[in-house]
Amino acid sequence: MSKAEQHDLGTALRALRIASGKTAETVARRASMSPAKLSKIENGRVLPTVQDVELILTALEVSEAAKAEFLAQTRAAATEATAWRELRRTGHWKHQQGIRAIEARTSTLRLFQGQLIPGLLQSPEYISDLFAMKPELTDEAKAKSKAARLERQTVLYDQSRSFHFVICEHVLRWRIGHPMVMGTQMDRLVSLSRLPNVTIGVVPLTRQMPNFPMTCFSAHDDRLVIVETFHAEITTRDPKDVEVYLSTFAQFDSVALHGDEMRSMVESIRDEFFREREGR
């Protein structure tokens, strides 16, 4: 998107807000961003992400037709990357709030993880140990990020939405924390798997891999996919890209254990962690 197009998009969003009669503070709050960021977007000083544009339009309560028209203007940025260093600079907890807003508007979430326990399923202790691995974060930033992640998890209890997770077995065994922390985390997975709107699949190490588990990703309905790499978080709305990820998710889900079989495996791993602790 050129600077001129960026400026035109910001001007159009500002005109929409003024026409709606909503204040910048109200729209920014509903869009999970600061008034300063909204101001920079409206004045063309910051290139908004696809997520930013959709959140602003949702906060403005525009029609689906108008939303489609504005999102079409950002199609050139349909696939975009936000470096983790930039997210750290603006505040990881603010990013958590943005993801929460996306999740709150998702009817069906599909999430594949080959790296960590998904954030929505993490125990408080696991979260603490995870953020302890990030020395560049201050204690205040870690506390705020943990609180924001725990707040995100309340969406799991909204039974109007469904959540489907697929996790590779090695993720359950990787030592993010001490044996007691890991064992408690396994208990949490078993407990959450019993929610009527939550499905958790685990791909056993003994199963033939259906594809390369190159990275983790979350698919929000069939409209948006968020992919995490080592250097950035990538968002795509391109229908062809979204279809690739939905297909990949289905492939791994087809070889995963579910229900009682999954719970039996997770409980076995939990017991291994607890026995290890008792043996010390």
- Tell me the per-residue pLDDT of 228-259, one tens digit each, with 9 for 90 and over: 887 778 888 777 889 999 999 999 999 999 99
Output Rg (C-alpha) for the chain, integer angstroms: 20
Whole-angstrom Cα distance, residue 145 to residue 20? 33
Nearest residue to 76 via CA among 49, 44, 55:
49
**Position 73 pLDDT exceeds 70:** no
Does residue 168 carry a pLDDT above 60? yes
- pLDDT of 47 reads 74
- Tens of pLDDT, residue by residue over 174-193, are 999 999 999 999 999 999 99
pLDDT range class, residue 145, cuts 50, 70, 90: confident
Cross-strand partners of 218: 111, 226
b/e map of 120-133 (b: 16 or more CB within 10 Å)?
Answer: bbbbbbbbbbbbee
Alpha helices in 91-238 (DSSP H): 92-104, 124-132, 139-152, 169-173, 179-192
Q: Structural domains in the chain?
A: 3-77 (1.10.260.40), 81-278 (3.30.870.10)
pTM score of the predicted model: 0.73
